[in-house]
Amino acid sequence: MVSGQRFCCRACEFLSQFEEGLSLKSQKSSTAWDYLDSSPFIDHIRTTSQNQSLHNYRLFLKGLNCSSCTHLLEKLPQIDERILNSQLSFLDGELKLTVSSDLTPSEIARQIEHLGYEPKFLTESEQAKDLLSQESKSLVKKIAVAGFSLGNIMLLSIAKYSGLEGSLKYLFSITEMILFLPILLYAGIPFYKGALLGLKQRSIHLDMVISFSLISSFVFSVIGFLVWGSEMYLDSLAAFTFLILIGRWMIKKAESHSKDQLSDGLFSPDQPVRILEDQIEKTIRLKDLTPGQTLLLGPDQILPCDGQLLSSRAYMDTSFVSGESEPKHYQQGQALFAGMKSLRKDLKISVQVKPEDTDLHQALMESEQLSLSKSRQLKKLNQIGKSILYAALALGALTFPIFLFLLQLGFQESWSRLLSLLVVTCPCALAFGGPLTYSLALRESKKRGLIVSSADVFDRMSEIKNVIFDKTGTLTTGHLKLIRSEPEKLPIWHRAVILGLERSSFHPVAFALREAYGDQVKQIAEVRDVNEVLGEKVFGLFDNEIYSLRRAHLGSGELNEVGFFKGDELLAKLYFEDEIRPETPSVLSKLKSKYELSISSGDKASRVLSLGKALGISPENLFGDQSPRDKLQYVKSHPHAVMLGDGFNDAAALGAADVGIAVAGPLQQSLKNADVCFLKSGLNPLLDLMDISTRLNTSLKRNYNFTIAYNLIAGSLALLGIVTPLIAAIIMPLSSLFVLTQAKRGFL
Amino acid sequence: MNILVLMLPLAITLGTGFLIAFLVAMNTGQFDDLETPAQRILDDEKEGERKS
Amino acid sequence: MNQTPKNMEEIYYDDKIVKMFLIAMMSFAGVAFIAGLLAAIQLAWWPANMNLEWITFGRLRPLHTNAAIFAFAGNAIFAGIYHSSQRLLKTRMASDLLGRIHFWGWQAIILAAAITLPLGYSQSKEYAELEWPIDIAITVVWVVFAINFFWTIAKRREKHLYVALWFYISTIVTVAVLHIVNSIEIPVGMFQSYPVWAGIQDAMVQWWYGHNAVAFFLTTPFLGLMYYYIPKAANRPVYSYRLSIIHFWALVFIYIWAGPHHLLNTALPEWAQTVGMVFSVMLWAPSWGGMINGLLTLKGAWHLLRTEPVIKFLVTAVTFYGMSTFEGPLLSIKSVSSLGHYTDWIIAHVHGGALGWNGFLAFGMTYFLVPKIWRTELYSKSLATWHFWIGLLGILIYYISMWAAGITQGLMWMAIDESGKLVYPDFVETVTRIVPLYWVRALGGLLFIIGYLIMCYNLFKTIQLAPKEQHDTKALVPKRTQETLKDNPADEGHRWLEGFATLFTVLSLIAILVGSVISIYPTINMQKYIQPANIPDPYTSLELAGRDIYVKEGCYLCHSQMIRKLEFDVLRFGPASTIEESMYDRPFQWGSKRTGPDLARLGKKYPDLWHYNHMINPRSVSPGSIMPNYPWLERHDVDFLSLRRKLSVLKRLGVPYSDEEVANADIDAQKEAQILAEDLHKNGAPAGLEKKQITALIAYLQSLGQKAKKE
Residues A19-46: pLDDT tens digits?
A: 544 444 444 556 777 777 877 777 777 7
Give the pLDDT confidence score for residue A21 in this predicted structure.
Answer: 47
Residue C293 pLDDT greater than 80, yes or no: yes
Selecting from B7, B17, B48 the residue whose C-beta is nearest the C-beta of C208 gives: B7
How many CA atoms are closer than 13 Å to the CA of A241, on its beta-carbon side?
39
Residue A181 host element (H or E): helix A167-182
User: For residue C642, what pLDDT band results from cuts at 50, 70 and 90?
Assistant: very high
Between the two ends of chain C, the Cα-to-Cα distance in Å is 91
- State the average pLDDT over residues C151-176: 90
Residue C130 DSSP one-character state: S
Contact flag C507-B14 (C-beta cutoff 8 Å): yes
User: Which one, of A245, A219, A252, lies nearest residue A233 by Cα?
Assistant: A219
User: Which one, of A495, A629, A640, lies nearest residue A564 by Cα?
Assistant: A495
Q: What dihedral angle (degrees, nearest 10) is formed by the CA atoms of C688, C690, C693, C695? A: 110
Count CB-CB contacts under 10 A for residue A329: 15
Single-letter amino acid, residue C144 = V
Q: pLDDT tens, C143-154?
A: 999 999 999 998
Residue A264 pLDDT greater than 80, yes or no: no
Contact flag C8-A147 (C-beta cutoff 8 Å): no
All residues of chain C having their beta carbon less than 8 Å from the beta carbon of residue A155 are: 257, 275, 279
- Percent helix, percent strand, percent coil in chain A, to nearest 5: 50, 20, 30
Cα(C43)–Cα(C59) distance, rounded to whole angstroms? 13
User: Which one, of C483, C479, C482, C372, lies nearest residue C11 by Cα?
Assistant: C479
Least confident span in A317-326, C192-201, C637-646:
A317-326
Contact flag C204-B15 (C-beta cutoff 8 Å): no
User: For residue A1, what pLDDT band results from cuts at 50, 70 and 90?
Assistant: very low
Handedness of CA A16, A19, A21, A24 (dihedral sign): positive
CB C65 within 8 A of CB C7: no
Contact flag B42-C235 (C-beta cutoff 8 Å): yes
Give the pLDDT confidence score for residue C46 in this predicted structure.
Answer: 94
User: Which one, of A115, A439, A72, A394, lies nearest residue A251 by Cα?
Assistant: A439
> Is residue B6 within 8 angstroms of chain A, CB to CB?
no
Give the pLDDT confidence score for residue C489 in this predicted structure.
Answer: 40
CB C365 within 8 A of CB C416: no
All residues of chain C having their beta carbon less than 8 Å from the beta carbon of residue B23 are: none
Using alpha carbons only, give the angle C541, C133, C110 rounded to the nearest 5 degrees: 120
Give the pLDDT confidence score for residue A15 in this predicted structure.
Answer: 65
Cα(A385)–Cα(A26) distance, rounded to whole angstroms? 67
Residue A261 pLDDT greater than 50, yes or no: no
Higher pLDDT, A430 or A585: A585
User: For residue C709, what pLDDT band results from cuts at 50, 70 and 90?
Assistant: low
All residues of chain C having their beta carbon less than 8 Å from the beta carbon of residue A162 are: 270-271, 273-275
B51/chain A closest Cα distance in angstroms: 22
In chain C, which residue's Cα lies nearest the Cα of A159?
Answer: C271
All residues of chain B having their beta carbon less than 8 Å from the beta carbon of residue C177 are: 10, 14
Selecting from B3, B11, B19 the residue whose C-beta is nearest the C-beta of C201 gives: B3
The three-state secondary structure class of C602 is coil
A48/chain C closest Cα distance in angstroms: 11
C584/chain B closest Cα distance in angstroms: 14
Contact flag C470-B48 (C-beta cutoff 8 Å): no
Handedness of CA A565, A568, A573, A578 (dihedral sign): positive
Between the two ends of chain B, the Cα-to-Cα distance in Å is 54
Phi and psi angles of residue A85, each rounded to the nearest 5 degrees, phi first: -150, 135
Taking a contact as any Cβ pair under 8 Å apart, which residues of chain A between 40 and 99 contact chain B? 67, 70-71, 74, 88-91
Q: What percent of chain B has pLDDT over 70?
A: 81
Among left, alpha and beta (phi > 0; psi -120 to 50; other), residue C176 is alpha
Least confident span in C133-147, C527-541, C584-598:
C527-541
Q: pLDDT tens, C669-681?
A: 999 999 999 999 9
CB pairs under 8 A between B and C: 132
Phi and psi angles of residue A46, each rounded to the nearest 5 degrees, phi first: -110, 135
The three-state secondary structure class of C536 is strand
Residue C358 DSSP one-character state: I
- State the average pLDDT over residues C572-578: 93
CB A670 within 8 A of CB A660: no
All residues of chain B having their beta carbon less than 8 Å from the beta carbon of residue C197 are: 3
> Is residue B12 within 8 angstroms of chain C, CB to CB?
no
CB A65 within 8 A of CB A31: no
Give the pLDDT confidence score for residue A6 in this predicted structure.
Answer: 57
All residues of chain A having their beta carbon less than 8 Å from the beta carbon of residue C484 are: 84-85, 98
The three-state secondary structure class of A721 is coil
All residues of chain B having their beta carbon less than 8 Å from the beta carbon of residue C529 are: 1-2
Mean pLDDT, rounded, of chain C: 88
Residue C374 DSSP one-character state: T
User: For residue A258, what pLDDT band results from cuts at 50, 70 and 90?
Assistant: very low
Taking a contact as any Cβ pair under 8 Å apart, which residues of chain C between 149 and 178 contact chain A? 159
Taking a contact as any Cβ pair under 8 Å apart, which residues of chain B between 19 and 48 contact chain C? 19, 21-22, 24-25, 28-31, 33-35, 37-42, 45-48
Contact flag C7-A81 (C-beta cutoff 8 Å): yes
Contact residues for C325 (Cβ-Cβ < 8 A; gap 6+): C283, C284, C287, C288, C291
User: For residue A562, what pLDDT band results from cuts at 50, 70 and 90?
Assistant: confident
Selecting from C205, C232, C529 the residue whose C-beta is nearest the C-beta of B41 gives: C232
Question: Which strand ranges, in their side-by-side order, compose the sheet holding A537-542?
Answer: A476-486, A569-580, A561-566, A545-551, A537-542, A528-533
Phi and psi angles of residue A118, each rounded to the nearest 5 degrees, phi first: -95, 110
- State the average pLDDT over residues C407-436: 94
The three-state secondary structure class of A349 is strand
C7/chain A closest Cα distance in angstroms: 5
Cα(C115)–Cα(C243) distance, rounded to whole angstroms? 44
Strand partners, A573: A486, A563
Mean pLDDT, rounded, of chain A: 79
Single-letter amino acid, residue A575 = Y
CA C223 to chain centre: 18
Phi and psi angles of residue A441, each rounded to the nearest 5 degrees, phi first: -65, -40
Residue A433 pLDDT greater than 90, yes or no: no
> Is residue B45 within 8 angstroms of chain A, CB to CB?
no
All residues of chain A having their beta carbon less than 8 Å from the beta carbon of residue C253 are: 147-148, 151
All residues of chain C having their beta carbon less than 8 Å from the beta carbon of residue A78 are: 1, 5, 8, 476
Cα(C129)–Cα(C135) distance, rounded to whole angstroms? 9
Q: pLDDT tens, C102-138?
A: 999 999 999 999 999 999 999 888 999 999 999 999 9
DSSP string, A387-402: HHHHHHHHHHHHHHHI
In chain A, which residue's Cα lies nearest the Cα of B44?
Answer: A71
Strand partners, A645: A662
Among left, alpha and beta (phi > 0; psi -120 to 50; other), residue C265 is left
Give the pLDDT confidence score for residue C48 in this predicted structure.
Answer: 94
| Chain B interface disruption, residue of C207, C503, C513, C653, most B CBs within 10 A | C503
Phi and psi angles of residue A255, each rounded to the nearest 5 degrees, phi first: -65, -40
Q: Is the ipTM of this complex over 0.95?
A: no
- State the average pLDDT over residues A109-129: 74
Residue A581 pLDDT greater than 70, yes or no: yes
Least confident span in A427-431, A533-537, B32-36, C603-607:
A427-431
> Is residue B14 within 8 angstroms of chain A, CB to CB?
no
CB C443 within 8 A of CB C40: no
Q: pLDDT tens, A268-301?
A: 666 778 888 888 888 887 878 888 889 988 877 8
Cα(C360)–Cα(A613) distance, rounded to whole angstroms? 78
Pairing between strand A476-486 and A466-469?
unpaired
Higher pLDDT, A653 or C629: C629
A233/chain B closest Cα distance in angstroms: 20
Selecting from B1, B15, B40 the residue whose C-beta is nearest the C-beta of A152 gives: B15
Taking a contact as any Cβ pair under 8 Å apart, which residues of chain C between 254 and 273 contact chain B? 255-257, 269, 272
